[in-house]
Amino acid sequence: MSARLPRVGAVVLTYNSAADLPTSLDGLLAQQEIDTRIIVIDNASTPESLATMENVFQSRFPDGVIVDIADANPTYLDNATAIFVRNTHNRGYSAGNNIGARLAVYSGCDAVLIVNPDIRISDQHLASTLWLGMQSSERCLIAAPRIVALNGRDEHPLREPSFWEDFLWIRQYGPRKFRPPPYVITPSGTAPIEAEKLHGSCLMIRSCFLEHMGFLDEKVFLYSEEPILAARVRSAAGVMIVFPELKVTHAHIASTKGNSSRRMIHFIRSRLYYFDTYSNHGPIKRVALHASYRLLELLHRTKARFDPD
């Protein structure tokens, strides 16, 4: 009797992602030597975009299941290799991915591969190699490939800013020589790298860890998911590892994401939640960070009134 292939639930969270979804699904469909169950969660896209994505999904998975969120059930994945879930409300990255992660975990998946729809996967053994790499250490709770942007720059591993870097955010707007060092630690070579923080666009998480921590923290709508996840890995005495021999392309275009100042306000709120809930900063430092970031928020609220959407 042959051994059971490891089962991985690949969660793709979409929001008006009709242009990206075909390539994303093709990369996941091509995965070999692993039992991949593909779970597309739509975060309340427009009717036109939703219809296009459903047609794309059906063209790739003729026997796939399309259901409303109220009817989503892990038992669908017992017989189908793919499910498309219509979510009626956009509650952000963590809440949306949690819908798919719960379906994957409760259907018996050994791990969950979170993949943004604008991630391009050309390696047919990406998922199986990540899984094998994760098995090299019981402490490895999250594994990720090298993530490279369209401009050729690496997007992780990442370092977490220090208290002074957060407090003195104004340095970002000053001369280059006064700015903090880069947050991305560019990989050199192909040896696995233990990461302080990972980019959230493509990573594999052990199902047992997801279930143990109660899945992703849904109290942030957008931004700061990565430092929150890193803090929760540390609290579980685990590690996160990047495997640079594996590479994906992140076809992200920031200009399509709307008003930058309004996005920055979301970031500030999420960052303050992270400081209060997950950082090791004492009360005096947290008060100082709140005061500093409220000034930054005021700056962007003023800027948002004059910036086009």
Over the chain (309 residues), the average pLDDT of each successive run of 10 is: 81 96 97 96 96 97 95 91 94 95 96 98 97 94 97 95 92 75 91 96 97 96 93 97 97 66 88 96 97 92 71
> Which residues lie across from 142 on neighbouring strands?
205, 240
| Topology annotation, domain 7-153+185-256 | Spore Coat Polysaccharide Biosynthesis Protein SpsA; Chain A (3.90.550)
Tell me the domain boundaries of the chain.
Answer: 7-153+185-256, 260-304
Instruction: Quote the CA–CA distance of 36 and 61 in Å, as a whole number.
Output: 13
Can you say whether residue 164 is alpha, beta or left, with left for phi > 0 and alpha for psi between -120 and 50 degrees? alpha
CA dihedral 201, 164, 301, 265 (to 10 degrees): 20
CA nearest 141: which of 4, 226, 237, 13?
A: 237
The answer to whether 242 and 192 are in contact (CB under 8 A) is: yes
> Could you tell me the pTM of the whole model?
0.92
The answer to whether 212 and 182 are in contact (CB under 8 A) is: no
Instruction: Quote the CA–CA distance of 130 and 61 in Å, as a whole number.
Output: 24
Three-point CA angle 221, 195, 149, nearest 5°: 65
Place of tokens 């005061």: 291
173: Cβ–Cβ under 8 A, 6 or more apart, which residues?
Answer: none
pLDDT per residue as tens digits for the range 204-238:
999 999 999 999 999 998 899 999 999 999 999 99
